[in-house]
Amino acid sequence: MDRVVLATHNPKKLAELRRIADAAGDGLVVVGLDEVGVYPEPEETELTFEGNALIKARAAAAATGLPALADDSGLEVDVLNRMPGVRTARWAGAKASDEANRRLVLAQVDDVPDPLRTARFVCAVALVLPDGTEHVLRETLEGRLAHAESGSNGFGYDPIFVAEGEDVTNAHLTPEGKDAISHRGKAVRAMVARIAEMNRASTGPAARGGA
């Protein structure tokens, strides 16, 4: 397995996952949906990150015949009862911009003191093979909400999220610096390692019928 399709049309997410996979050094090639054709994309109807990641990966594997990766990621704010959660990308409305989503979250915690502004990014990555085999991994990045937007890198909620151990938002980090600590970086590296293990198992002595 040296080529997988990533079930997204988001160019920033595709670039991020390619960068993480390249850094892992296992030669895994990640292609985007725009490179393999168009198919009816399923609605994300599950109530968990894992469920939505599987929905997207299953559809991509079935439509392309390739091993398919998909992630579902989001922000959990403790004082908002861990919302937005799976509605992270649609928190301010079905077609809301990243900026609108960030403004709404900041407004909702406007009077919350620093010790209670704890939050985390969550990422579930699913791998679905054409034979129906499925793997799911989940990782998090703990941190807190800033009081205002800051920084110009990253995307989504990066300008209002300060990771644990940092004193600036994710939007101030370099791409490589963010990858090293991010929920998505940890989840993708773990999945790339699992793919490498599967590849070794499929070409080892037992797989070849040797001793």
Among 32, 112, 113, smallest CA distance to 71 is for 32
Decide if 209 is inside a domain.
no
Known binding-site residues equal 8-13, 43, 72-73, 155-158, 178, 183-184
Residue 42 has pLDDT above 60, yes or no: yes
What pTM value is reported for the model? 0.88
Percent of the chain past pLDDT 90, that is, above it, reads 67
Question: What sign has the CA pseudo-torsion 138, 157, 149, 19?
Answer: positive
The tally of domains found in the chain comes to 1
| Catalytic residue, candidates 2, 72, 98, 111 | 72
Catalytic annotation present for 72? yes
Report residue 157 as tokens: 């909620």
Known binding-site residues for substrate equal 8-13, 73, 155-158, 178, 183-184
Decide if 155 is inside a domain.
yes
Helix (H) or strand (E) holding 61: helix 49-64
**Residue 34 exposed, middle or buried by CB count within 10 Å (0-12, 13-18, 19+):** exposed
Residue 100 has pLDDT above 90, yes or no: yes
Quick: pLDDT tens for 25-40. Answer: 667 888 888 888 778 8
pLDDT at res. 9? 83
The pair phi, psi for residue 120, each rounded to 5°, is -155, 150
Residue 208 has pLDDT above 60, yes or no: no
Decide if 146 is inside a domain.
yes
Domain that holds residue 165: 3-203
Residue 203 has pLDDT above 80, yes or no: no
Confidence of residue 211 (pLDDT cuts 50, 70, 90): very low
Average pLDDT over residues 92-120: 97
Average pLDDT over residues 51-61: 96
Decide if 180 is inside a domain.
yes
pLDDT at res. 29? 85
Decide if 210 is inside a domain.
no
* Residue 161 near residue 109 (C-beta atoms within 8 A): no
Question: What's the mean pLDDT when you consider all of the chain?
Answer: 91
Residue 99: CA count within 13 A, CB half-sphere: 2
Confidence of residue 205 (pLDDT cuts 50, 70, 90): low
pLDDT at res. 82? 98
**CATH number, domain containing residue 192:** 3.90.950.10
Quick: pLDDT tens for 125-142. Answer: 999 999 999 999 999 999
Quick: pLDDT tens for 166-198. Answer: 999 999 999 999 999 999 999 988 998 888 888
Confidence of residue 204 (pLDDT cuts 50, 70, 90): low
* Residue 169 near residue 150 (C-beta atoms within 8 A): yes
The pair phi, psi for residue 17, each rounded to 5°, is -70, -35
